[in-house]
Structure 1
Amino acid sequence: MSANRTEVIELTRRLVSIPSHDDETAAGDAVESWLRAETDAEVTRDRHGNVVARRGEGTSLALVGHHDVVDPDGSQVVGPAGDDTAGRAAVEGEVDDESGPAGPDVEYLVEERDGRLYGRGTADMKGSLAAAMLAFRDADPAGELVFASFVGEERGGVGARAAIDDGVAPDYAVVGEGSTNYAGEDQTDVVVAHRGRRGSTLTASGTAAHASEPEAGENAVYRACDAVDVVRDLDAPDATVLGERVQGSLVVTEIDGGSAWNVVPERCTVTVDERTVPGERARLEAVESIDGVEWTVDQDLPPMACDDEGFADAALAAAAASQAATPEQVTKPHATDAGWLAEAGTTCVVCGAAEPGEAHTASESVSIDALGRCYEIYRTLATTFQRGSKP
């Protein structure tokens, strides 16, 4: 059995219509019930809300996605009867604070036009999730085929991390985040590495004094500025994965200090955003060479590097067989759940229908042709790729 264009569209529409920015339960219910009805796989739903299905034996290949989304724009919400009352109310600021623009009596709007599906989650990433579900159903797997849809990806990968802690550890994985139109127009490429994100705070402490006698205090803002100079002199991280360069970045994004115009500030904080690369980090600990400055890490989303050239090549071959264009192996600037899986020992690539600039926007959309390509890529790879046990 092979999915047709109508099936891909209908399943995407069904998943996208279900609100899942505050509570992923209903979306997880839909994924779980579809898998139980459409496949003979072993389907589980863990206590966190993750949905995992398995069939076949041997080396495991997972098709991985997530069913949570970021908050919708007001224009992406409709009422239960199909009107746009809730959407208009959200735009006009008339929504009840308790329910928000997508409360229990509303759905997400899904529209089809010009060969694309529009709505919150179409690109990130319920469209690719639908393609993976259909491919999971239709593939004749060469080994064990796993499907996993996680919760909380938009909250730092909490679902993936919990599943990994509970023992979900496939040998290989294709994570369905965006890789379309990275190397060329109208093509779906294969990501072999992506950046992570390390968010840090520099806290400068001083001693307050009256501004008329600044020498009586220690100015925390000055110390923070000295720490910023250290950050500016640091090199951003850089790495090469399977011949592809991954360039990180390092930038100060916020600064906050002082309590009044006539008081020498005793505290100042600086936020630093670092986009990390596989195996390399900026030497941010150097800021602690400044008196009174402390460095703390607030968030650390891991980067991903595919550690098996054979798997990357197999994914590229499946991508090439599924489209007229010539796809390429590329890198991605954004962190995904592939980082957590790779950190746990899973060999990953990223391949999905979303294009640069589509996710998290009021006009979010996905190409229906790209969804069809992803279905074929996932099904082909699941059918053709098999390796022995990983070392």
Structure 2
Amino acid sequence: MSVQRSKELLADLIAFETVSADSNLDMISYLTQRLEALGARCIETRDETGKKANVFATLGPDMPGGILLSGHTDVVPVADQDWTSDPFQMTERDGKLYGRGTCDMKGFIAAALAFGETLDTSKLTQPLHFAFTYDEEVGCLGAQTLVNDLSKRGIVPDIAIIGEPTEMRVIEGHKGCFEYTTRFTGLEGHSSAPDDGVNAAEYAARYIGKLLELRHILKSRAPADSRFEPPWTTVNIGRISGGVAHNVIASKAEVAWEMRPVQASDADLVKSTLDDYVEHSLLPAMQAVHNEASITQEAVAEVEGLEPMEDNEARDLVAELTGANGTGVVAFATEAGLFQKLGVHAIVCGPGSIAQAHKADEFLEIEQLDLCCRMLNRLGHRLMG
């Protein structure tokens, strides 16, 4: 497999404007056609709107197990970013490939496609799977749909390589990402008589206060052997909104927040503590004044972390393929934990740096793409005996 072929395919992929708010169907159709031309057996899963899709494809023998190459098709927006070139037209200069999604993470998808084109599928000794998903950037929604479908079908690869940008380092662990929007509905009124209303903004502030208390508790719960930085579960208040004017009791308020657990017990603690606080403190106080007051919560995303395991065939394989002498962990979340929950040995390893992701003039160094191609070529030798 050549870097040149990967670059050609990447240019095609960058031209698909697969911002998470928009449909990815054109890119999925392109990928499916490419894979079917190689003889792959393809399964498509869609979201409820029918405007987003995953494709899961298999080359080689129809048997359990196999190796999975996985990547997400969606990208973050380019609005209000100062690009020096068209973000949806790949541009090469100074040994770098510029465009939205070059490193996060269409570069890996392009390399995986180019790799598939080089294989003599009749010689594959085990299945080679490809999974290309929607809406990773807004909560790994596509991967959750895909993993549920694979579970129902009884399809469980042995190994999954998620090609997020790690500079080709082997990443065997990452924190989870749990995102929520909590909404408060009170009773509006004139600010001169605050006791006659239910100020949703004030109750949102109390809720935030409880979150900040939990933040300090979580620091004390950091596992002694935690390899993450920071080593504890974090909590972040991302957005606060509510009210209409200085002299009106706020009837609506909203808090967007997240936590990044290092262990499942931390997520359980946060959720149970907040549920208890709402049920036994905040909500009774609100409804004592206005019985239709409410607090509701939307789980925007609950993405499982990737837990480092003593026995991880994916880690061992990719370390051998890349020549890595060690492995690492990262704080950002990926789809790897979802595959691990399915029972797959998973790792994260892909070309490019997360430092370039989500920014104007996002780029992928050609040298990084070459390293990825070399890794996949070595994988091909193993798969074909």
SS in 2 for 1:30: helix
Q: Deviations over 1:1-49 (max 9, x none)?
A: xx12322222222322333333323322332333344x3x433152534
Long gaps (5+) in structure 2:
47-52, 287-294
| Cα distance change on mapping 1:286 and 1:264 into 2, 3 Å | same
Match of 1:252 in 2: 237
Q: Deviations over 1:193-219 (max 9, x none)?
A: 222322223444555453323344444
Match of 1:8 in 2: 6
Match of 1:190 in 2: 170
After superposition, residues 1-391 of structure 1 pair within 5 angstroms as 3-21=1-19, 22-37=22-37, 39=38, 41-46=39-44, 48=46, 49-51=53-55, 52-56=57-61, 57=63, 59-72=65-78, 108-138=88-118, 141=124, 143-167=126-150, 168-180=155-167, 188-204=168-184, 206-234=186-214, 235-236=217-218, 244-245=227-228, 247-279=232-264, 280-281=266-267, 282-287=269-274, 288=278, 289-292=280-283, 294=295, 296-299=297-300, 300-307=302-309, 308-320=311-323, 326=324, 328-381=326-379, 383-384=381-382
Alignment partners' CA distance in 1, 2:81 and 2:237 = 33
Alignment partners' CA distance in 1, 2:352 and 2:201 = 42
Q: Which amino acid is 2:257 matched to?
A: V
Q: Deviations over 1:258-308 (max 9, x none)?
A: 343223334433222212334231514424253227462422222222543
Q: Deviations over 1:112-169 (max 9, x none)?
A: 1111110112111111111122333446755322122223333433332333333253
Q: Which amino acid is 1:171 matched to?
A: D
Q: How many residues align?
A: 344
Is 60-69 or 361-370 further displaced after alignment? Answer: 60-69
Q: Which amino acid is 1:31 matched to?
A: L
Higher strand share goes to which structure?
A: 1
TM-score between the two structures when normalised by the length of structure 2? 0.77
Alignment partners' CA distance in 2, 1:381 and 1:278 = 32
Q: Shift of the alpha carbon at 1:63?
A: 0.7
Q: Shift of the alpha carbon at 1:175?
A: 0.8
| Cα distance change on mapping 1:205 and 1:163 into 2, 3 Å | closer
Asked if structure 1 preserves the Cα contact closer than 8 Å seen for 2:104 and 2:354, the reply is no
SS in 2 for 1:263: coil
Alignment partners' CA distance in 2, 1:73 and 1:212 = 42
Alignment partners' CA distance in 1, 2:25 and 2:202 = 49
Alignment partners' CA distance in 2, 1:329 and 1:270 = 37
Q: Which amino acid is 1:169 matched to?
A: V
Alignment partners' CA distance in 1, 2:14 and 2:69 = 19
SS in 2 for 1:166: helix
Asked if structure 2 preserves the Cα contact closer than 8 Å seen for 1:190 and 1:327, the reply is no
SS in 1 for 2:351: coil
Alignment partners' CA distance in 1, 2:54 and 2:314 = 26
Alignment partners' CA distance in 2, 1:144 and 1:242 = 36
Q: Shift of the alpha carbon at 1:372?
A: 1.5
Alignment partners' CA distance in 1, 2:327 and 2:223 = 13
| Cα distance change on mapping 1:364 and 1:241 into 2, 3 Å | farther
Asked if structure 2 preserves the Cα contact closer than 8 Å seen for 1:61 and 1:382, the reply is no
Q: Percent identity?
A: 25
| Cα distance change on mapping 1:117 and 1:284 into 2, 3 Å | same
Alignment partners' CA distance in 1, 2:186 and 2:82 = 48
Alignment partners' CA distance in 1, 2:35 and 2:368 = 22
Alignment partners' CA distance in 1, 2:364 and 2:40 = 30
Q: Deviations over 1:59-112 (max 9, x none)?
A: 31101112333334599999xxxxx8xx5xxxxxxxxxxxxxxxxxxx921111
Q: Shift of the alpha carbon at 1:251?
A: 1.7
TM-score between the two structures when normalised by the length of structure 1? 0.76
Alignment partners' CA distance in 2, 1:173 and 1:241 = 29
Asked if structure 1 preserves the Cα contact closer than 8 Å seen for 2:351 and 2:364, the reply is yes
| Cα distance change on mapping 1:6 and 1:218 into 2, 3 Å | closer
Alignment partners' CA distance in 1, 2:224 and 2:339 = 17
Is 148-157 or 248-257 further displaced after alignment? Answer: 148-157
